[in-house]
Amino acid sequence: MKIFSEALVEEARQANHVADLSQATIGEVLLVAQYLEQKTGIPFIRMDQGSPGLPANRWGVEAEKAALDRGVGSQYPAAAGVLELKEAAAEFVKAFINLSVSPRACVPTTGSVAGSFGSFIACTQRVTGKDKVLFIDPGFPIQKSQLRVLGVTWREFDIHPYRGERLRDRLEEELRAGDIAAIVYSNPNNPAWICLEESELQVVGELATKYDAVVMEDLAYFCMDTRRDFSKPYEPPFVPTVARYTDNYILMLSASKIFSYAGQRIALVCVSDTLFDRQCPALAERYHDAGVFGQTLTASILYMITSGCTASTQYAYAEMMRLACEGKINFVDDTRTYAERAHRMKDIFTRHGFRIVYDRDVTQRVGDGFFFTLGYGTLTGGQLLKELLYYGVSCISLSTTGSLQHGVRGCTSRMREELYPVLEERMAAFRQDHP
């Protein structure tokens, strides 16, 4: 039996000006769920927005307070970032990725959204004729929205049928035209939680070098592939990255999920030293500067977007990274809660007839973490999204992420202990109504 009637869900859709529920964005689904909760007082199982569901790291909070008490709020921060954060970032990358990058090439941004926005600009203007972006999907829908704002075109393909060595031919098919400026993906993946394996990262890196494309690797869910223990700094296993296979890379490291510091909007773009120092005549002509990639990205692009990052927050991020490198903060264990939630939630769904859509990497089953994907029978993603709303469960359709698979994305961040029996009851009803 449905929790919410079709008429009530339609009322919520119209009240929030959602054109098509089956193609609703994260924000639109959120508004519909909130409307139904407020209208009826019945709680939703909120699997829509990927907002952290853990307390902010207390060491960061205390460091930010201390920075404000020292008076940093009275001065503009340097566009390139405060030295303490840049040095901590370089050390953090060394400790957990075993990768050497100079502090000068670690630039703070106002969240990874600002980081990707600035990087898209720099990459698509770097070489005349290389002005398109390639998405290895499924992916983060906001990044395509950024390209719409910029007027930049893109190409995309769903990686689902192209895992392993099949990735090489598919990727080269896109790169061969010579107009791809940047390749974008997240690892672990939002929304599918798949992880590119070492052999696949090598393929991406080799082809990025061959065709002179910059790989923008989004590491928002850093060290959150719980199938391996990445918690010990300076000890293997280290986080997999394309940076082992090319010098054409920008790594995006956000504090939002790593340290649950989302509200303060702080991230880093870590650029390879080779790319950071590369001379780009097209950038020099456009910006009337030296045309050095890293300097143009920092001073002529990122600074124009946000005028730097909040100084006190930079000191918070620096302190959290420093303590993580010293082994005094185990952020990997802190975020393991998401994997535990995913395991329990996936168990409930699969026992009631659902399947995991993106269920495997190349050599092993997909892990448990911040996100997971669900399919049911022959329902499309849009149909399943809408049907689940009637049972008080909110999610997003995979079709909005560039996926060609039928299903939805679920997020674990808002799950609470008292909601597990509620989810069990509702999914039992769902299966009874959808034999």
Model confidence pLDDT, tens digit, residues 100-109: 999 999 999 9
**Does 22 score more than 90 pLDDT?**
no
Which residues have a Cβ under 8 Å from the Cβ of 14 and sit 6 or more positions away? none
pLDDT band at residue 47, thresholds of 50, 70 and 90?
very high
Task: Dump strand ranges (E) for 260-344.
Answer: 267-271
- Find the mean pLDDT for residues 267-284: 98
Q: How far apart are CA 31 and CA 40, in angstroms?
A: 14
pLDDT digits (tens, 9 = 90+) for 180-197: 999 999 999 999 999 999
The two three-digit tokens of residue 133, written as one number: 């972006």
Q: Which position has the higher pLDDT, 309 or 22?
A: 309
The pTM (predicted TM-score) of the whole model is 0.96
Q: Check: CB of residue 194 under 8 Å from CB of residue 358.
A: yes
Domains of the chain: 6-54+332-433 (3.90.1150.100), 58-325 (3.40.640.10)
Indicate the pairing of strand 45-46 with strand 393-394. parallel
Judged by DSSP in three states, 81 sits in: coil
Instruction: Kindly give, in sequence order, each residue whose CB lies less than 8 Å from that of residue 211, ignoring residues fewer than 6 positions away.
Output: 172, 175, 176, 178, 180
Residue 49 has a pLDDT of 87
d(CA 219, CA 331): 14
What does the DSSP assignment read for 105-151? GEEEESHHHHHHHHHHHHHHHHBTTB-EEEEEES--HHHHHHHHHHT
Here the tokens at position 16 are: 């929030």
**Per-residue confidence (pLDDT) for residue 180, from 0 to 100:** 98
Q: What is the pLDDT of residue 184?
A: 98
> Rounded CA gap, 324 and 335, in Å?
13
Give the whole-angstrom CA distance, residue 146 versus residue 375: 29
Contact 331, 337 (CB under 8 A): no
Query: Confidence band (pLDDT; 50, 70, 90) for 1?
Result: confident
Q: Give pLDDT, residue 34.
A: 94
- The length of the chain is 435
Asked if residue 313 has pLDDT above 90, the reply is: yes
> Percent of the chain scored above 70 by pLDDT?
100
Q: Which residue has the tokens 């005549």?
A: 281
Tokens 């597990």 sit on residue:
420
Residues in contact with 357: Cβ distance below 8 Å, sequence separation at least 6, in sequence order: 192, 373, 374, 375, 398, 403, 405, 406, 407
Under a CB-based contact definition with an 8 Å cutoff, are residues 303 and 55 in contact?
A: no
Lowest average pLDDT, out of 19-23, 54-58, 231-235, 243-247, goes to 19-23
Looking at residue 337, its pLDDT comes to: 97
Task: Report whether pLDDT(174) > 90.
Answer: yes
What are the residues facing 134 on neighbouring strands? Answer: 155, 183
